[in-house]
Structure 1
């Protein structure tokens, strides 16, 4: 690295190493935690953070209108990925001074002050189980103001799921909702009945079952805040249609939560073009390489170039090319990659676009790029 040149020239293998070991994401996580938590001793804070068994735990917010299926999806999601299910009710059940202060407001049918509510959420999410296993916040936050307060407190989700369904469907679900008093699971008399007859017999109507007019007003209240919440979490949000089979809704939510967001860190593009003869692979590869400054690799041309060399490697490759047995060449491709000055060696220090001629070449290329 030339320290006299600005900007500093970073060796190409540095980017490859950083991408392989998620160095950029690690620095992003550390800096974000420092800025949010503002520890008195930053060095010791970072050391303690790196000593944790797992700093990359699920942090999910599951939002949606009443009767959209949040509780059912949240419970199944936590069972599947092993995270802690957090709701407004179980936050208030914590035995702490903050929760007791909040209960005084709820007993008087008064709204809990925003700052107290944020401290309660922060207190619950800072406990060891949430730190170690991650969390799923159900129906929190409810407003954009609350979402911004959570961000100021350092509570930032990795994934936000918002369930949506037509109002007529949600009203029908609300009126037919039933609850298992033993487990707290939510069912419906028409859409989601329990498989067990024993569970079906003990289902109860919710004590707070309300009229259709009240449900409609609640839905209107949610819709007023929904667009603002979507803007707040637009970079990590997925909207899921809840008016479909429960298993399909859960599958979409689970797939999204298990996915990783594209990092803003630099990365090395690697493009593989496949297609039958005459499909324009070589032309497209050449145009892509020219536009984005990539190394253009044709495996067939590469092998021919090596075979034309008056070298021991070329002599090894010639019989395979003459007999058309390119599928038997993975070890030779690896040797070519390591021992010659052709395109593969340059590709190690840069991005590349490659196009292949046959399924056998695909196997060769996969072997080549993974070794």
Structure 2
């Protein structure tokens, strides 16, 4: 919304934002799929449309499937074998993307922009993709692919005589060879693409990911999906509020200490906080002391009151905090929300099970926490699988230094 305000600079910002909320769906996908000829743009775009129920916008759809104000003018250029002007393409795209279905469902823009001028025109029209997928492959591979490319005129799906031949005989019969697929024509298009590629890459570099198209289509699609489902980091400042959850022995205290040291946030261990309150002879400490002396759990209302008081301190409000040891169950978590203690990062350090069959091990926690600042305002959940046997081994071999309080194995 702020982006639209900066672009349009309306006289009445409040009314503009109200209309924006009525007419726009900020969660809808806005994706550009770019790449050289025969790199698989159509396959990727159609697959993304099916996955997100989004609208596919390409040269073919704009010229032959849509009835837009300037469609006939663009067709006239096509019939005369003349290049369609960039301004005309930009107008067609702007008109199509302003329709209700594209606003509500999102859009996948295939093959656009083709050059720097088109990219600038789209930006001046307020069209900014959230994700740009740039496919690439060696020219020799692309030229070989283009020779076997076949098109289904009914569904517009693309197949290949070697790599992706349809099993349905009816589909096989209606496949046609696209025009301009001679090696000379493909080489000419590749040359033009390589000439324009660096400028487009520079414009969209912050939202762009290059993906190797010279691999099985399943791998390409999985990489594309993983990228377009990510949200980009927000540059807006925020105070980190981190919550560590996990079974005993999963390393909550250690990782909290490392995070607090590296990013200068306040490390709050719930158990340690209770002991400090008792040692300082505070009013809450006097209420808590009998429970600790008897080995009974401290009531949740006392723990919450102590936590609320500590997290409201100036150092926590200014630097942020990392909390471990609370909540321990769903009820405590709900009470934490009612007390308006809302973390913006969740880290689950371990589950009392090993990886499920066929499930991959997650990368080590130090690698994860090194990227912690990139989480922006999003809530990230990190699962660290820890088998029950490992938990028991850690707890049974844990030793505590009575002087420093440090835990060792």
Structure 2 stretches lacking a partner, 5+ long = 338-409
- C-alpha distance in 1 between matches for 2:72 and 2:294: 82
Cα gap change, 1:49/1:296 in structure 2, threshold over 3 Å: closer, same or farther?
same
Task: Quote the offset at 1:351 in angstroms.
Answer: 4.4
Q: Which residue of 1 is the match for residue 140 of structure 2?
A: 168
Cα gap change, 1:39/1:340 in structure 2, threshold over 3 Å: closer, same or farther?
closer
Task: Quote the offset at 1:353 in angstroms.
Answer: 4.8
**Does 2:191 align with 1:220?**
yes
Q: Which residue of 2 is the match for residue 337 of structure 1?
A: 304
Cα gap change, 1:182/1:283 in structure 2, threshold over 3 Å: closer, same or farther?
closer
Task: Quote the offset at 1:338 in angstroms.
Answer: 2.7
CA contact (8 A) 2:274 2:288 kept: no
Cα gap change, 1:368/1:311 in structure 2, threshold over 3 Å: closer, same or farther?
farther
Please give the per-residue CA displacement for 1:155-206, whole angstroms capped at 9, x wherever unaligned: 1111111011112221121111112232121011221122434423433322
**Does 2:28 align with 1:57?**
yes
**Does 2:255 align with 1:287?**
no
Task: Quote the offset at 1:70 in angstroms.
Answer: 0.6
**Does 2:290 align with 1:315?**
yes
Indicate the RMSD between aligned Cα atoms, in angstroms: 3.1
Please give the per-residue CA displacement for 1:281-315, whole angstroms capped at 9, x wherever unaligned: 57635532xxx442122344223223444422332
Deviates more, 1:263-272 or 1:343-352: 343-352
Q: Which residue of 2 is the match for residue 104 of structure 1?
A: 76
- C-alpha distance in 2 between matches for 1:284 and 1:158: 34
CA contact (8 A) 2:260 2:267 kept: yes
Determine which structure has the larger helix proportion and give its number.
1
Deviates more, 1:302-311 or 1:116-125: 302-311
CA contact (8 A) 1:61 1:159 kept: yes
Map 1:227-306 onto structure 2 (within 5 A): 227-271=198-242, 281=255, 284-285=258-259, 287-288=261-262, 292-306=263-277
Q: Which residue of 1 is the match for residue 152 of structure 2?
A: 180
Cα gap change, 1:345/1:205 in structure 2, threshold over 3 Å: closer, same or farther?
same
Deviates more, 1:260-269 or 1:308-317: 308-317
**Does 2:125 align with 1:153?**
yes
CA contact (8 A) 1:285 1:353 kept: no
Cα gap change, 1:286/1:264 in structure 2, threshold over 3 Å: closer, same or farther?
closer
Q: Which residue of 2 is the match for residue 191 of structure 1?
A: 163
Task: Quote the offset at 1:92 in angstroms.
Answer: 2.2
CA contact (8 A) 2:24 2:103 kept: no
Task: Quote the offset at 1:271 in angstroms.
Answer: 4.8
Structure number with the bigger relative contact order (C-alpha 8 A, sep ≥ 6) is 1
Cα gap change, 1:190/1:263 in structure 2, threshold over 3 Å: closer, same or farther?
same
TM-score calculated relative to the size of structure 2: 0.70
Q: Which of residues 320, 328, 331 is equivalent to 1:364?
A: 328
CA contact (8 A) 1:158 1:236 kept: yes
- C-alpha distance in 2 between matches for 1:339 and 1:271: 18
Cα gap change, 1:83/1:282 in structure 2, threshold over 3 Å: closer, same or farther?
closer
Structure 1 stretches lacking a partner, 5+ long = 1-28, 322-327
Aligned residues: 326
User: What secondary structure is seen at the aligned counterpart in 2 of 1:311?
Assistant: helix
TM-score calculated relative to the size of structure 1: 0.77
CA contact (8 A) 2:68 2:92 kept: no
User: What secondary structure is seen at the aligned counterpart in 2 of 1:140?
Assistant: coil
**Does 2:108 align with 1:136?**
yes
- C-alpha distance in 2 between matches for 1:345 and 1:238: 41
Cα gap change, 1:262/1:365 in structure 2, threshold over 3 Å: closer, same or farther?
farther
Q: Which of residues 349, 361, 364 is equivalent to 2:317?
A: 349
Cα gap change, 1:348/1:233 in structure 2, threshold over 3 Å: closer, same or farther?
same
Cα gap change, 1:285/1:77 in structure 2, threshold over 3 Å: closer, same or farther?
closer
